[in-house]
Structure 1
Amino acid sequence: MNDDLRRRLREAAAAYRPDRERMLARVERGTAASGTPVPRRTGRASPWLRVAGATAAVAAVLAAGGYGASAVLGGQEQPVGAAPPAHSTAPDERRTEDGPLWSDGSVDPHSNDFWAQSNVTLKTAEPLTALTVELRIAHTGGVASTGAWRTLPEGDFTFRTDTGDGFLVYRWRLRPGRTVPAGTHVFAGQYDHARGGRDAGADSYSVTARSDDQQARIRGDFAPQNGR
């Protein structure tokens, strides 16, 4: 942006000051460059006229310099007519339904002040030829695994636990050549924790599955949800 354009912008912007005489004088100078007629100063100008005049002056100066108002206000030079910059939107990570799958995460009601069990309930409307279930329990204090189970046959899955990045992780993976039938299935992780009620707000689970040629991915937490 050259010095002359900067000067003219400053002059036009100055019209927003409450000094009516000074404001109108600067509006006249700004609009004169674009050939826009300026109302005669007869009587007190209404507030809307003062704002409109200043806006017209700024717009005229910007148009003469080939810049868009949003570009100047944002501190970037952008030619008039150029497409606005794209803004990325963070997707919602919680997605408890996808394709034939539905899921729910819940803390088992038999949990107590020293021990808990987190359940991942998975419903599938179609047989699955691939399935991985991951349960992540945040290390909120004293968290240590005491076991895990699932309602599907143990021999159909590989299972492991890991600790890292502040989480205790349970992971079940369907073995090649095995199939998960349509229906409702539960995967549960058990663990000790520090004495007292434990907050499961940072816990989460994720599921990836394949049904025929369809891939499904879901992710949830342990907040109350409407079951079905």
Structure 2
Amino acid sequence: MDQLKQRLREAAQAHQPDRARILARVERGMAAPAADARPHRPATRTSWARVAGAGAAVAAVLAAGGYTATAVLGPDRPDHGVAVPSRVPLSASGAVDPHSNRFWAQSNITLTTARPLTALTVDLRIAQTGGVAGTGHWRTLPAEDFTVSVREDGDGALHYTWTLRPGRTAPAGRHVFAGQYNHAEGARSARADRYTVTATEDGGERTSVRGGFSP
């Protein structure tokens, strides 16, 4: 038994690998995929596994260095398929109420705010077109949160002014302020009517919008 072990050891030490034969086998193995056009699924899976592994390694290096894919590859190109509008903090529109008639009318100011308001003043100016006289007013926000003044200016125009009381807040959302008035018989034009809205957002930013009225 000892003699057999000795011979095996001597044979192993005397063995020298055939370098040329090994290189030839490697070359044949590399050329084999080119001769066979059909996909080899195990090799594909192995290839993707290697790619994924390389990607994971790159990601790890970037993370360790404090970089992101955007910083290295550059920002993504803009997506022109979807347009996302920016949020407008405060907007308003004016319209004559459709229930107005030949003797009486109501002017509506619709205010839309994306943030709560800690200060708010809404002024409605109704031009004197003949026989204009106030008959009432209302708003969708709580009445106790506002003071209201009704007056005529030097041009005879009628003003309704709503002012948010100190310490009160107008929530984000859509709110309506309406002024009612009599006028001379007939179809009245609202072209000279105006509104002005001045507001302070919860963060302290002050905004003012103004406009006219559609029939």
- TM-score tier (shorter): 0.5 to 0.7
Letter matched to residue 223 of structure 1: S
2:129 pairs with 1:129: no
2:96–2:214: 8 Å Cα contact kept in structure 1?
no
Aligned length: 127
Matched ranges for 1:1-228 at <5 A: 100-166=89-155, 167-211=157-201, 212-223=203-214
Q: Structure 1-normalised TM-score?
A: 0.54
Deviation at 1:99, TM superposition (A): 5.5
2:115–2:171: 8 Å Cα contact kept in structure 1?
yes
1-structure distance, mates of 2:115, 2:107: 25
2-structure distance, mates of 1:223, 1:150: 19
2-structure distance, mates of 1:161, 1:221: 19
The unaligned stretches of length 5 or more in structure 2 are: 1-86
1:123–1:184: 8 Å Cα contact kept in structure 2?
yes
Letter matched to residue 107 of structure 2: S
SS at match of 1:155: helix
Deviation at 1:201, TM superposition (A): 0.3
Deviation at 1:213, TM superposition (A): 1.3
Percent same amino acid at aligned positions?
A: 62
| Aligned-pair Cα RMSD in Å | 1.3
The unaligned stretches of length 5 or more in structure 1 are: 1-97
2-structure distance, mates of 1:152, 1:193: 27
1:99–1:216: 8 Å Cα contact kept in structure 2?
no
**1:136-189, Cα deviation, whole Å (9 max, x unpaired):** 000100000000000000000000101122210000000000000000000000
Spell out structure 1 runs of 4+ moving beyond 2 A: none
2-structure distance, mates of 1:102, 1:189: 19
Considering only CA atoms, is the larger Rg found in Structure 1 or Structure 2? 2
Letter matched to residue 215 of structure 1: R
